[in-house]
């Protein structure tokens, strides 16, 4: 195989990797332009995706074809030969796919720009050090432009703080103006707000979209920049007048138009500017290949000065990339996961919280509360009362129950993000569009009091986790690219083939992890959605179904414990632990949701509420018993301890069979409403407890006679304790269910017992 054919294969590999990178990259960056429209439900999902798709396609087609970041700025291309530059690009693409797919799997938005820059830096450092070691000539400073990376880091730090503060500030005054019942003031100020928003978004489209596009006219751009005040004024007056007509005569919600326009603008800017993050590297590799082929110089001698010049890209590449990005928007599940992370942290109401509390978040919330109390003390009473009325608590939930926040906040998110990005672009300040849009959304959430005392610690933990991931992005990108760069430099083609296989394996494995996480989160979210369609007629059935669904898991746990322990199957025992942990988590979420169920009941149905609370408490105890049982059995087998002897095995299986049958009978009663069986089962419970005592005494005798090992005795005795707990709390759930069912029957006859 000739050198030309070999490098052509590498270029093809780069483009295949680029397609994969487009998919994983767009899945992450979709959060930049979809959150506002998606969270406010400014239209059906198909319409939001259609508007975003049009923006992506226009941005891709009108994209600047120079792809500067991938070719120069981070490193000095003239210091590298063609064979070295290709290795840098391959290392970058392999790293980018792994990194972005990792963030997508866990639903964390990150910056594709930052990842690309530090991947280029890491790979370039690796290849530079390899080249220096081979030639014993030059130093790293000649190869790398480190000042560019430091400038990006400083810009990121500044943009995070500024975006959060400005977002909170603007949202606070916007809410003071419109309140949560914004329809009243919307009649007077809606058109002005819409005109202002539209003017800012339009200016943003010009600065980030058309100004640097491959098809823009330089003279027109210069004139527009010189007269931007006039242009903004004309757009503001014209759009305000049009919005007033649409609002007053045609009764059109102009805020939805503003949000969808902003979605289009951000999508267009994303495709037009961030496209380099996904295809810039393979296109730079393709350009390098073309330069080298026409030079007729050996690949390890041809230096890449040509990359420092302007290299235009075929529109076909841009159109193809745009189409792949659009398909990803429509069909990527991971894109929805990343979007839902931002929406979940920004939503107005309480409910399912993806993140837990942490010491840092508790300290921040505590300090914020103290600061708020201080502000209240120094704020005049009249002003404080007026502000509280504008932020009326009872009206804080979005009017559309399916939306996470209202259109006022959605429009503020888009306007502030557009203004900040356009301003930074005008002054050539580096920033990340992902970081700006996310932090603006978090700032507006804080100002809108979406982070109440019930949810603040969880939301703050989420924001800290996302921001921490941002800083890790640079470190991880640099480290992985550096490592891969060294591996490729020393092992060449063998390393590339192996790393491609590793990438494929990691992506496949991440899909499995993502699916499992989605299933678990979806299951937990169900417990916070019970109140959406609950009423007096179906509250009994919904409560029973919720409890019953979790109780059935105990059967699966028992089967796995028996098979895993008797057959020394660690995989089954690990699965049993996972199901038990899931049962415990779900019981916690059900308990958190109790108040929603109670709110759905009439005041004279308080007995039903008590029964449900009792059943949930018993479910939590069952979950705890299941966790303790599975952990002890799994630990015993995992540590390779001795199995039960014949007598212990016989006792364990007898007890296991009794417990399994008891659990099955309780579940059958609840499934079939077979109330007549309840007393028989409860009487059987007393016999079972007597058998437990017999088995316990038998094991104690074996211990005294030194017939058993300490570890197996401890396991059997602990198992007896947890089996007993399962029997007791299943019996109590059965008792609560009988009262629950009896009360339901009395309710139908309007003979409701007094509390």
Kindly list the domain boundaries of the chain, sorted by start residue: 3-522, 527-748
Q: By the 8 A CB rule, do 32 and 437 touch?
A: yes
What percent of the chain lies above the pLDDT cut of 70? 85
Identify the weakest region by mean pLDDT among 84-88, 449-453, 503-507, 566-570.
449-453
The CA-based dihedral angle spanning residues 478, 483, 489, 490, taken in that order and rounded to the nearest 10 degrees: 160
Q: Which residues of 261-298 are buried (b: 16+ CB within 10 A; e: fewer)?
A: bbbbbbbbbbbbbbbbbbbbbbbbbbbbbebbbeeeee
Give per-residue pLDDT as tens, 11-47. 888 888 888 888 888 888 777 788 889 888 888 989 9
Helices 646-672, 539-566: axis angle to 10 degrees equals 160
Cβ neighbors of 466 (< 8 A, separation 6 or more) are 108, 109, 341, 345, 438
Averaged pLDDT for residues 202-209: 73
Can you give the pLDDT at residue 66? 41
pTM confidence score? 0.76
Q: How confident is the model at residue 159 (pLDDT cuts 50, 70, 90)?
A: confident
CA neighbours closer than 13 Å in the CB half-sphere of residue 45: 7
| Cα four-point dihedral sign 104, 107, 111, 117 | negative
Cβ neighbors of 178 (< 8 A, separation 6 or more) are 185, 186, 189, 193, 408
Q: Count H helices, E strands: the chain?
A: 27, 0
Identify the weakest region by mean pLDDT among 102-106, 571-575, 627-631.
102-106
Cβ neighbors of 634 (< 8 A, separation 6 or more) are 564, 570, 573, 574, 576, 577
Q: How confident is the model at residue 748 (pLDDT cuts 50, 70, 90)?
A: low
Please say if the pLDDT value at position 109 is more than 50.
yes
Give per-residue pLDDT as tens, 652-693. 999 999 999 999 999 998 888 888 888 888 888 888 888 989
3-state secondary structure of 303: strand
Can you give the pLDDT at residue 399? 47
CATH of domain 527-748: 1.20.58.220
Please say if the pLDDT value at position 606 is more than 70.
no
Identify the weakest region by mean pLDDT among 181-185, 367-371, 492-496.
181-185
Averaged pLDDT for residues 594-616: 68
Can you give the pLDDT at residue 587? 84
Can you give the pLDDT at residue 241? 94
Average pLDDT, the chain: 82
Q: How far apart are CA 448 and CA 393, in angstroms?
A: 11
Helices 407-426, 146-178: axis angle to 10 degrees equals 150
Can you give the pLDDT at residue 65? 43
* Residue 129 Cα distances to 267, 412, 523, angstroms: 39, 48, 50
Q: How confident is the model at residue 352 (pLDDT cuts 50, 70, 90)?
A: low
Please say if the pLDDT value at position 751 is more than 60.
no
Identify the weakest region by mean pLDDT among 40-54, 59-73, 92-106, 600-614.
59-73
Identify the weakest region by mean pLDDT among 119-133, 381-395, 639-653, 675-689.
381-395
Give the residue carrying structure tokens 């009423």.
535
Give per-residue pLDDT as tens, 232-259. 899 999 999 999 999 888 888 899 999 9
Averaged pLDDT for residues 511-534: 66
Can you give the pLDDT at residue 604? 56
Can you give the pLDDT at residue 755? 43
3-state secondary structure of 144: strand
Q: Among candidates 267, 286, 280, 269, which has minimal Cα distance to 328?
A: 267
Q: How far apart are CA 270 and CA 736, in angstroms?
A: 56
Label residue 208 exposed, middle or buried (CB < 10 Å: 0-12, 13-18, 19+).
buried
Label residue 131 exposed, middle or buried (CB < 10 Å: 0-12, 13-18, 19+).
middle
3-state secondary structure of 229: helix
């Amino acid at each position: 195989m000739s050198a030309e054919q070999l490098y052509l294969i590498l270029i093809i590999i780069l483009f295949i990797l680029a397609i994969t990178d487009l998919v994983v990259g767009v899945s992450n960056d979709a959060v930049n332009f979809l959150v506002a429209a998606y969270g406010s439900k400014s239209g059906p999902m198909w319409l939001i995706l259609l508007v975003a798709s049009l923006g992506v396609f226009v941005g891709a087609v009108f994209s600047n074809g120079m792809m500067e970041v991938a070719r120069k700025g981070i490193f000095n291309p003239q210091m590298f030969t063609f064979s070295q530059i290709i290795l840098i690009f391959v290392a970058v693409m392999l790293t980018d796919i792994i990194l972005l797919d990792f963030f997508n799997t866990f639903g964390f938005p990150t910056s594709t720009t930052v990842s690309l820059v530090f991947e280029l830096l890491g790979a370039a450092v690796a290849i530079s050090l390899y080249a220096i070691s081979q030639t014993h000539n030059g130093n790293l400073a000649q190869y790398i432009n480190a000042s560019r990376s430091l400038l990006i880091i400083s810009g990121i730090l500044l943009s995070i703080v500024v975006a959060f503060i400005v977002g909170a500030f603007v949202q606070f005054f916007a809410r003071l103006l419109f309140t949560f019942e914004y329809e009243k003031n919307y009649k007077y100020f809606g058109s002005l707000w819409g005109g202002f928003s539209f003017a800012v978004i339009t200016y943003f489209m010009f600065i980030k979209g058309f100004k640097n596009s491959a098809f823009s006219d330089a003279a027109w751009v210069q004139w527009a920049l010189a007269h931007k005040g006039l242009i903004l004024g004309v757009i503001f007056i014209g759009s305000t007048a049009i919005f007033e007509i649409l609002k007053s005569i045609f009764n059109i919600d102009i805020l939805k138009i503003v949000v969808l326009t902003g979605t289009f603008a951000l999508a267009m800017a994303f495709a037009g500017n961030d496209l380099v993050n996904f295809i810039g590297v393979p296109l730079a590799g393709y350009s390098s290949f073309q330069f080298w082929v026409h030079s007729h110089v050996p690949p390890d001698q041809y230096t890449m000065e040509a990359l420092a010049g302007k290299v235009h890209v075929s529109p076909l590449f841009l159109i193809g990339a745009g189409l792949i990005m659009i398909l990803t928007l429509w069909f990527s599940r991971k894109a929805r996961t990343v979007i839902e992370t931002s929406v979940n942290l920004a939503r107005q109401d309480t409910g399912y919280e993806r993140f837990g509390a942490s010491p840092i978040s508790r300290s921040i919330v505590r300090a914020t509360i103290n600061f708020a109390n201080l502000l209240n003390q120094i704020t005049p009473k009249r002003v404080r009362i007026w502000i509280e009325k504008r932020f009326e608590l009872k009206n804080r939930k979005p009017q559309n129950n399916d939306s996470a926040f209202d259109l006022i906040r959605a429009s503020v998110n888009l306007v502030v993000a557009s203004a900040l990005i356009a301003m930074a672009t005008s002054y050539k300040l580096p920033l990340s569009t992902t970081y700006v849009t996310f932090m603006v959304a978090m700032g507006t959430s804080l100002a809108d009091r979406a982070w109440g005392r019930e949810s603040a610690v969880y939301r703050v933990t989420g924001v800290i986790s996302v921001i921490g991931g941002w800083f890790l992005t640079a470190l991880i990108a640099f480290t992985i690219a550096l490592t891969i760069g060294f591996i490729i430099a020393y092992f060449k083609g063998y390393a590339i083939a192996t790393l491609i296989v590793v990438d494929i394996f990691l992506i496949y494995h991440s899909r499995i992890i993502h699916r499992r996480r989605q299933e678990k989160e979806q299951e937990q979210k169900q417990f916070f959605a019970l109140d959406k369609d609950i009423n007096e007629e179906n509250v009994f059935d919904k409560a029973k179904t919720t409890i019953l669904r979790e109780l059935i898991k105990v059967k699966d746990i028992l089967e796995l414990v028996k098979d895993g322990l008797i057959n020394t199957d660690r995989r089954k025992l690990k699965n049993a632990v996972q199901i038990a942990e899931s049962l415990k988590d779900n019981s916690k979420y059900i308990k958190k949701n109790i108040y929603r169920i109670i709110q759905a009941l009439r005041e004279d149905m308080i007995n039903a509420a008590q029964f449900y609370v009792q059943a949930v408490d018993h479910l939590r105890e069952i979950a705890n018993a299941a966790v303790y049982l599975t952990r002890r059995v799994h630990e015993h087998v995992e540590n390779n301890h001795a199995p039960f002897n014949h007598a212990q095995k016989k006792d364990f299986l007898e007890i296991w069979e009794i417990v399994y049958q008891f659990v099955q009978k309780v579940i059958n009663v609840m499934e079939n409403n077979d109330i007549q069986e309840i007393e028989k089962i409860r009487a059987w419970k007393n016999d079972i407890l007597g058998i437990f005592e017999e088995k316990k005494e038998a094991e104690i005798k074996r211990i005294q006679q030194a017939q058993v090992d300490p570890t197996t005795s401890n396991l059997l005795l602990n198992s007896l304790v947890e089996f007993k707990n399962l029997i007791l709390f299943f019996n109590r759930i059965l008792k609560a269910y009988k009262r629950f069912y009896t009360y339901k029957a009395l309710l139908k006859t309007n003979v409701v017992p007094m509390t």
